[in-house]
Amino acid sequence: MSNAFKTAFKLNALMEEKQMLQKARKESHMIVKCKFCKAPIRWLITIKGKKMPVDGDSRPYWLKPKGSKRIVTTQGEVFACEYEGDGKENGHGYVPHAASCSRYR
Ligand SMILES: [Zn+2]
């Protein structure tokens, strides 16, 4: 392969990846059923571009660096946190479904 061809090939792959991510981000607003437990879930895209199943409803979270729980924001950030806390919550996010699925694993 010539270098120009390689570059074009790489660019094309990058664009396809971007389009796939954009499509996936749009789909993250859709609620679907978990194929294991049938609970309502949605697929969020993490900042690393990975699809992650989360519970259908958002919930408040309290940031805690060593918290035992995880929360995923609609921007795809994953934070260590607790689902209960003192004072005002830090925000609303989604619980990774792997943690709450009754049938998964
Ligand atoms: Zn499930």
Higher confidence at residue 87 or residue 99? 87
Task: Enumerate the domain spans of the chain.
Answer: 3-100
Selection from 81, 87, 84, 63 nearest residue 96 by Cα: 81
Residues within 5 A (CB) of ion ligand 1: 34, 36-37, 39, 101
Model pTM score: 0.78
Residue 84 Cα to ligand 1 midpoint, Å, equals: 22
What sign results for the dihedral spanned by CA atoms 81, 51, 56, 54? negative
Strands 78-82 and 59-63 turn out to be: antiparallel
Q: Running DSSP on this structure, what letter comes out for residue 41? A: E
pLDDT tens per residue, range 6-42: 999 999 999 998 898 888 888 888 999 999 999 999 9
Residue 35 Cα to ligand 1 midpoint, Å, equals: 7
Residue 105 Cα to ligand 1 midpoint, Å, equals: 10
pLDDT tens per residue, range 59-80: 999 999 999 999 999 999 999 9
Residue 81 Cα to ligand 1 midpoint, Å, equals: 21
